[in-house]
Amino acid sequence: MLQSVRSAVQSASQLLYQGRYPISKMYYRLVSNIPKQPSNEISNEPIKFFGSKAATWRARDTRSGGSEDTLWFQPYVISGSLAVFLLYFCVLREENDIDKRLEGNLFDQVAGLEEVQLTVNYKYNRENGLDTSEIEKRLLELGVDIKLLDIR
């Protein structure tokens, strides 16, 4: 089979090199010279499981991938690295200015945020029939006119 394919390719390349045939005809000639393989009939015999690669395949590898690629000490290295990381960031590291800013109230950091938030909560509570007394007190402390909120 391999010899016949090789000879067909060699003869086609010689004819193409000599300029006798265009490439499209050479492809057809090359394909037509390859002998056809006889079709295999479907047998009604059962497929053998034992002795095949399927018999040695583990279902665990299909579900979660192979676990043989990991090193025996990998869990210890990961656990140690995580412990050192947590020890540094939770115990040993000193606070910096960003940490101190994050400790504060968000309403102190962003001007006008508390008024907007209280206004949204007030409107939501009014529409759904919930208690608005605490929100009204805080809005009055901030100097927001509640009558204007009811008009909108």
The pLDDT of residue 60 is: 75
- Predicted confidence (pLDDT) at residue 47 exceeds the cutoff of 90: no
And the tokens for 55?
């018999």
Element (H, E) at 115: helix 113-128
**Element housing 109 (H / E):** helix 106-109
Average pLDDT of the residues in 110-137 = 92
**pLDDT for the residue numbered 46:** 85
Cα 142 from Cα 149, distance rounded (Å): 14
Is the CB of residue 35 less than 8 Å from the CB of residue 1?
yes
SS3 143: coil
The whole-number pLDDT of residue 117 equals: 94
Q: How confident is the model at residue 14 (pLDDT cuts 50, 70, 90)?
A: low
